[in-house]
């Protein structure tokens, strides 16, 4: 069958792809600069020649020259062509090197690099249709996930999200029993333990290396009202919890209904379950924007394979939307679901009996 090709449309799409190629390589360059400490070395230094930067970092001047060309063209670093010097503005420093600041995007970038790192397994999984366990992702993915989510939790969890729930903050201040399920490296558990010293937090995750890392972090922070246990969301030990939470993990679970049911059964009758999930509309059409583009991509190679690798294998996906999440929670026996808060990337649901 003859087909009409409109060259203007080809050129437009090719131009977009060239931009995407440049962007994907810029992320890789940003990752190199992060891992080699180049952004950090430039932060607050003012204009530097390539030789200055090589002397400060101990890196090869030839490599730095090429790297600076790429990141300057990307706008990640500022190039002064008249003096042949490079610098970073405070805004560039916030995005690329100020660790722990909500604006720092290196965790996001690290999570992307982790997907390229294991591209062969991703292709194999995609073609086979089989699951791929969370534990099969690269170490860079676990660290990138924690590094990406932690600044958002630090900025919002105890100042916005918990206060947005009915009566929960007072309980946590007075002293409550908290379960953080699918806690990963434990950043959310540690933040709650620090903010509510009268409460006790238990972080559960079925990925043992993540639990070991969470224990290390709590020990480093010198906090003793938090502990971590290797356990699955469907049958972690303990009961009579006042508050249960899941941060960006329900959609990774094979049996989210079973997990939510276990939460309901181990919560006190007047307890609250806070579910933090990626922000998404209820239909794919509502998610046709960069955040949707990003989450659907991670969902293709990380979240959905992680779910399909477990019993039930529901594969909710990282853009499930409040309607499908409410369906899961209702099937688990919860009576009320309310959108309590949201950020540009997350929705926070308050779930009660
Ligand atoms: C995207 S990570 C989020 C980790 C952490 N909550 C955070 O926000 O940084 C998803 C986590 O869910 C955990 N997970 C997935 N399925 C699980 C299950 N059935 N039981 C317990 N943990 C599970 C994984 O091991 C992983 O640590």
Other beta carbons within 10 Å of 162:
25
Q: How far apart, in whole angstroms, are the C-alpha atoms of residue 275 and residue 148?
A: 18
Q: How far apart, in whole angstroms, are the C-alpha atoms of residue 304 and residue 124?
A: 14
Res. 251: pLDDT tops 90: yes
Give the mean model confidence (pLDDT) for residues 44-49: 98
Task: Report the DSSP pairing between strands 267-278 and 346-352.
Answer: antiparallel
| pLDDT tens-digit map of 144-188 | 999 999 999 999 999 999 999 999 999 999 999 999 999 999 999
Task: Report the DSSP pairing between strands 200-205 and 177-181.
Answer: parallel
- Which two three-digit tokens encode residue 108? 């996001």
- Judge whether 43 and 88 are in contact, CB under 8 Å: yes
**Centre of ligand 1 from the C-alpha of residue 183, in Å:** 6
Residues having CB closer than 6 A to ligand 1 are: 134, 145-146, 149, 182-184, 187-188, 205-207, 210, 232-233, 247-249, 252-253, 306, 310
| pLDDT tens-digit map of 194-226 | 999 999 999 999 999 999 999 999 999 999 999
Q: Residue 68 — very low, low, confident or very high, per pLDDT cuts 50/70/90?
A: very high
Residue-averaged pLDDT of the chain: 97
User: Ligand 1: which of 153, 184, 301 to mutate, judged by most atoms within 8 Å of the beta carbon?
Assistant: 184
Helices (H), 118-227: 119-128, 139-156, 168-174, 187-195, 208-221
Q: How far apart, in whole angstroms, are the C-alpha atoms of residue 38 and residue 18?
A: 26
pLDDT of amino acid 296: 98
Q: 3-class secondary structure for 61-79?
A: HHHHHHHHHHHHHHCCCEE
Q: Residue 100 — very low, low, confident or very high, per pLDDT cuts 50/70/90?
A: confident
Closest by CA position to 186, among listed 169, 172, 207? 207
CA atoms within 13 A of residue 192's CA, in its CB half-sphere: 31
pLDDT of amino acid 102: 87
Which ligand 1 atom is at minimum distance from the Cα of 254?
A: 19
Res. 335: pLDDT tops 80: yes
Give the mean model confidence (pLDDT) for residues 131-141: 94
**Centre of ligand 1 from the C-alpha of residue 252, in Å:** 7
Give the mean model confidence (pLDDT) for residues 109-130: 96
**Centre of ligand 1 from the C-alpha of residue 217, in Å:** 17
Q: Residue 343 — very low, low, confident or very high, per pLDDT cuts 50/70/90?
A: very high
Res. 42: pLDDT tops 90: yes
Which ligand 1 atom is at minimum distance from the Cα of 232?
A: 20
Residue 268 host element (H or E): strand 267-278
**Centre of ligand 1 from the C-alpha of residue 207, in Å:** 8
Domains of the chain, first to last: 7-96 (1.10.10.10), 149-352 (3.40.50.150)
Tell me the pTM: 0.95
Q: What is the Cα 143 distance to its own chain's centre?
A: 10
Task: Report the DSSP pairing between strands 85-87 and 78-80.
Answer: antiparallel
pLDDT of amino acid 191: 98
Res. 109: pLDDT tops 90: yes
- Which two three-digit tokens encode residue 298? 């991670």
Residue 342 host element (H or E): strand 336-342
Q: Residue 313 — very low, low, confident or very high, per pLDDT cuts 50/70/90?
A: very high
Res. 2: pLDDT tops 90: no
Res. 1: pLDDT tops 80: no
Q: Could you identify the residue written with the tokens 């360059």?
A: 29
Q: How far apart, in whole angstroms, are the C-alpha atoms of residue 238 and residue 274?
A: 18
| pLDDT tens-digit map of 253-282 | 999 999 999 999 999 999 999 999 999 999
Considering only residues 334 and 100, tell me which one the structure prediction assigns the higher pLDDT: 334
**Centre of ligand 1 from the C-alpha of residue 202, in Å:** 14
Buried b (16+ CB within 10 A) or exposed e, 221-260: eebebbbbbebbbbebeeeebbbbbbbbbbbbbbbbbbbb
**% pLDDT > 90, the chain:** 95
Q: Residue 98 — very low, low, confident or very high, per pLDDT cuts 50/70/90?
A: very high
DSSP 248: S
Q: How far apart are the first and last CA of the chain?
A: 59
DSSP 284: G
């Amino acid at each position: 069958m003859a087909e009409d090709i409109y060259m203007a449309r080809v050129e437009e799409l090719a131009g977009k792809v060239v931009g995407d190629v440049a962007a994907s390589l810029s992320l890789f360059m940003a990752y190199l600069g992060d891992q080699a400490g180049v952004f950090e070395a430039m932060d607050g230094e003012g204009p530097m020649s390539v030789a200055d930067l090589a002397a400060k970092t101990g890196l090869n001047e030839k490599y730095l020259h090429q790297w600076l060309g790429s990141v300057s063209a990307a706008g990640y670093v500022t190039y002064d062509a008249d003096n042949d010097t490079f610098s970073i503005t405070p805004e560039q420093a916030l995005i690329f090197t100020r660790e722990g600041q909500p604006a720092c995007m290196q965790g996001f970038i690290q999570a992307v690099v982790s997907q390229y790192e294991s591209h062969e397994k991703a292709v194999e999984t995609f073609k086979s249709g089989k699951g791929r366990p969370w534990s099969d992702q690269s170490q860079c993915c676990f660290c990138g996930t924690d590094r990406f989510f932690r600044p958002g939790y630090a900025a919002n969890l105890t100042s916005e999200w918990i206060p947005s729930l009915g009566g929960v903050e007072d309980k946590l201040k007075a002293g409550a029993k908290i379960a953080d399920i699918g806690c990963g490296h434990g950043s959310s558990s540690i933040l709650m333990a620090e903010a509510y010293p009268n409460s006790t937090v238990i972080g559960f995750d079925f990925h043992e290396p993540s639990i070991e890392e969470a224990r290390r972090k709590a020990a480093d922070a010198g906090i003793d009202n938090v502990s971590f246990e290797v356990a699955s969301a469907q049958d972690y030990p303990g009961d009579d919890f006042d508050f249960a939470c899941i941060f960006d993990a329900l959609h990774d679970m094979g049996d989210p209904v079973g997990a939510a049911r276990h939460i309901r059964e181990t919560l006190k009758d007047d307890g609250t379950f806070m579910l933090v999930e990626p922000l998404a509309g209820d239909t794919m059409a509502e998610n046709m924007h960069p955040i949707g583009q990003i989450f659907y991509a991670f969902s293709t190679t990380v979240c959905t394979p992680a779910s399909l690798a477990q019993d039930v294998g529901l594969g909710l996906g990282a853009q499930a939307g409040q309607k499908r999440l409410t369906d899961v929670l209702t099937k688990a026996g919860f009576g009320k679901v309310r959108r309590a808060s949201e950020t540009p990337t997350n929705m926070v649901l308050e779930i009660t009996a």
